[in-house]
Amino acid sequence: MTVSHLLSQGTQLKSNIPHTTNLYYNLNHFRLLKRKQLEFVTGGWVMPDEACSHWYSVLQSLTEGQTWLKNTFNISNVKSSWAIDPFGHSSVMPLILKESGFENVLIQRTHYSVKKYLSQRQQLEFKWRQIWDTKGTTDLFTHMMP
């Protein structure tokens, strides 16, 4: 059966992803995706706790989640990342995202004094660069929520 056929019947898809419970995807999501009115961000299996996750686990999560997006929705061009709730942000995460083809990231949880400092200087948007990078090849556009 094709997605178009299912759409015409108003069917819902049930996901058989292990370790999840009762995920239903209304076919309206396919319509929204096709019209580019719905976008997936990061696309990892989970949002890692960057403060204690090993880089290899982060790569596995990205691979698993993005493979599922490709197989389920035929999406393979996730360019934006969303990290609003890890307990701190890892300095290696922007490098992993950049090397994985991401163009930007939105972050949330940082110390209030850092947010205050950046906000007062209108610098909540910046290019996150690895400390060893002198040429800007690892720059990842970053927006920090106020």
Only one residue has tokens 């690895």, namely 130
Strand order in the sheet with 140-144: 80-83, 104-107, 140-144, 125-128
**Three-state SS for 101?**
coil
Out of 49, 85, 133, 139, the active site residue is 85
Residue 104: phi and psi, rounded to 5, are -160, 165
CB 80 within 8 A of CB 103: yes
Active site residue 85: yes
Assess contact for 89 and 50: CB atoms under 8 A: yes
Residue that has been written with the tokens 């890692």 in this structure: 48
Closest residue by Cα to residue 105 from 16, 32, 41, 44? 41
Question: Would you name the residues annotated as active-site residues?
Answer: 85
